[in-house]
Structure 1
Amino acid sequence: MKQVRPKKNLGQHFLTDLSIAKRIADTVDACPDIPVLEVGPGMGVMTQYLVTKPRSFKVVEIDRESVAYLKNTLFKEQGVESEEQEKPIIEGDFLRMDLREVFGGQQFVLTGNYPYDISSQIFFKMLDNRDLIPCCTGMIQHEVAVRMASQPGNKQYGILSVLIQAWYDVEYLFTVEPGVFNPPPKVQSAVIRMTRNKVQKLGCDEELFKRVVKTAFNQRRKMLRVSLRQILQSEAIQMIADSMFSTLRPEQLSIQQFVELTNLVEKALCANTIA
């Protein structure tokens, strides 16, 4: 069967280096004994290593040509496409899936060579389903990986850093050069691993937390007493101006400080409503 043609509209860059593919596949071993879901397997360069691991395994692929290729090559050779066995290929859009239906509500590891243009959306979906996904690994654009792993005080520290690190420990594992892809992307790639931390409750309104973080970083060069005017009216903003956060910029705040700021914003909103 002829090979799959990479499609620009799907952001496909097929990994061709088998040694790197195996290294990425082996990142799921940090979370043993639970199923694995691979997003966007393409022609199965990572899949061939994942499918041999002693655990339940499925892939989700939106590209019909890739689905046909996998069915007629890798999965056919592995003998996992028989009628007696549960089908390992889900044809569809990961972003539209109900993840509780994938493994019957069981937790799983999420992995893949993620399309660069939707990687952030994939991770936001992961956050929405964090009770199902104790571990997420895979390859993304280098710049995004650096942002996700960055700490306070770093210029790369931003919305993704805070929202993901609030719930996951992020490890930047290694860099991947463009030459090992077909077609080569114009940027470097990186392999990351995110492992669920012990936080169950942030200690603040979680929706307001996300709003505060996004509002602050959307004007990251401004002090918080200025950027938060988008949320608070002039009377309520005085509570921020009188606080320790007044002259700080968002990249200076730890996650716990963002929690404290969120509680202060909620208090200011309530005080303004009562007034």
Structure 2
Amino acid sequence: MHKNTAHLARIKSVTQKYKLHPKKRLGQHFLTDPNILVKIVEACELDSDQYAVEIGAGWGAMTGFLAQIARGVLAVELDTDLAPGLRETFAGHENIKLVFADVLVLDIEQELRQRFAVEGKIRYKVCANLPYYITTPILFHLLEKATAMESAVLMVQKEVAERLVALPGGKDYGVLTIMVAWDAEVEMLGKVSRNCFYPRPGVESAVIRVTPWQERPWVVDSEVTFKQLVRTAFQKRRKTMRNIAAGFFRVDKVEAERKLLALGIEPERRPETLSIDEFGKIADGFSE
């Protein structure tokens, strides 16, 4: 605890020295509550052989906490105005590597290998307080490009977290829920008050854990068809699956109803009531 207090005091001193202020255009809301910082780092469940990738290092509060546990921390920050302060704060910390770049164009695994001179398999987890305006692009970038990522603990807008963990039948269940669940398991770890940030955001936040599937629970004949069907269905979420299937697969409504019933799916159901497995059945069943 003493280390954490000294670290946060140093950050306060450096931010004052360099006259650093959050930038609204970058969605900067820095997490300042030490108890929440500790809980997030603990939720990452890092061990001394793993690397941590932090997206949005900000003023470096979480960076320092992660560095106490992880073998190394790759701290990625878009705002180059924060560079002098971060470099001063972490001068002499050999296990912290600062990268000033847009994470959406960064090859995270290549960067880890180069910065830490790693050969062979690399073990790492992601930990981040994400700018809310770019949460979804970053999440999909991680799932598509960070193929060796073991898990990610992310601070996101509470509304987004609720959509990610939503179940079929609820108002929050939709394309985002299914597309992320296709690649990973998502857990809600807890909600965070807006009072834990500086400046105070206009929304509540939540911490989630995203764990890519080692083996996906679902198998479909065509992932492309499955995903196109899901997107099309939720664009027409007020329509029945009979009408949606008829239009998507270019068959008449009588045939669409017959096939849905054969698959055990009531034709009058609407998209938000269907599970991933049921969307998969429709995608495969109509493509035969």
Q: TM-score when scaled to structure 1?
A: 0.85
Question: How far apart are the structure 2 equivalents of 1:129 and 1:172?
Answer: 23
Cα distance change on mapping 1:51 and 1:232 into 2, 3 Å: same
What SS does the aligned partner of 1:231 have? Answer: helix
Structure 1 equivalent of residue 106 of structure 2: 97
User: Which segment is superposed worse, 224-233 or 135-144?
Assistant: 224-233
2:122 to 91, 103, 106: 106
The answer for the alignment partner of 2:147 in structure 1 is 131
Contact 1:167 1:199 in 2 (8 A): no
Q: Deviations over 1:176-203 (max 9, x none)?
A: 1111211111110000111233424842
Query: How far apart, CA to CA, are the structure 2 residues paired with 1:48 and 1:23?
Result: 14
Q: 1:174 to 1:87 in 2, by over 3 A?
A: closer
Matches within 5 A, 1:230-269: 231-235=248-252, 239-242=255-258, 243-244=260-261, 245=265, 246-267=267-288
8 Å Cα contact 1:37-1:59 kept in structure 2: yes
Distance 1:230 1:30 in 2: 48
Query: Does residue 210 of structure 1 match 2:227?
Result: yes
- Per-residue Cα deviation, 1:126-171 (whole angstroms, up to 9, x for no partner): 2213632220112000000011011112221111211222232211
Residue 225 of structure 1 corresponds to 242
Deviation at residue 2 of structure 1 after TM alignment:
2.6
8 Å Cα contact 2:29-2:199 kept in structure 1: yes
Partner of 1:28: 44
Residue 230 of structure 1, CA deviation: 5.5
8 Å contact kept, 2:55–2:126? yes
Cα gap change, 1:228/1:41 in structure 2, threshold over 3 Å: closer, same or farther? Answer: farther
**CA deviation after TM superposition for structure 1 residue 86, in Å:** 7.5
- What does 1:178-217 correspond to in 2, within 5 Å? 178-200=194-216, 202-204=218-220, 205-217=222-234
SS of the equivalent of 2:200 reads coil
Secondary structure (helix, strand or coil) at the match of 2:188 reads strand
Distance, in Å, in 2 between the alignment partners of 1:87 and 1:238 is 63
Residue identity opposite 2:105 in structure 1: R
What is the rounded CA distance, in whole Å, between the counterparts of 2:256 and 2:86 in structure 1? 56
- The change in CA–CA distance for 1:30 and 1:55 in structure 2 (over 3 A counts) is closer
In 1, the alpha carbon distance for the partners of 2:82 and 2:186 equals 30
Is it true that 1:18 corresponds to 2:34 in the alignment? yes
Q: Structure 2 vs 1, CA of residues 183 and 256 (structure 1 numbering), >3 Å: closer, same or farther?
A: same
Aligned in 2, Cα 1:61/1:229: closer, same or farther, shift over 3 Å? farther
- The whole-number CA distance in structure 1 between the counterparts of 2:82 and 2:247 is 45
Q: What is the DSSP-based 3-state SS (H/G/I as helix, E as strand, rest coil) of the residue aligned with 1:166?
A: helix
Q: Following superposition, which runs of at least 4 residues in structure 1 exceed 4 angstroms of deviation? A: none
Deviation (angstroms), 1:97: 1.3
Asked whether the equivalents of residues 47 and 70 of structure 2 are also in contact (C-alpha less than 8 Å), the reply is no
- CA 1:4–1:214 in 2, change beyond 3 Å: closer, same or farther? farther
User: Do structure 1's residue 39 and structure 2's residue 55 form an aligned pair?
Assistant: yes
* Number of residue-to-residue matches in the alignment: 259
Q: For 1:175, which of 191, 212, 215 is the aligned residue?
A: 191
Q: Which amino acid aligns with 1:109?
A: K
Give the TM-score of the pair, scaled to structure 2: 0.82
> Secondary structure at the residue paired with 1:58?
strand
**Which sections of structure 2, spanning at least 5 residues, go unmatched?**
1-16, 114-120
What is the rounded CA distance, in whole Å, between the counterparts of 2:131 and 2:153 in structure 1?
14
Taking the aligned partners of 1:52 and 1:190, their CA distance within structure 2 comes to: 24
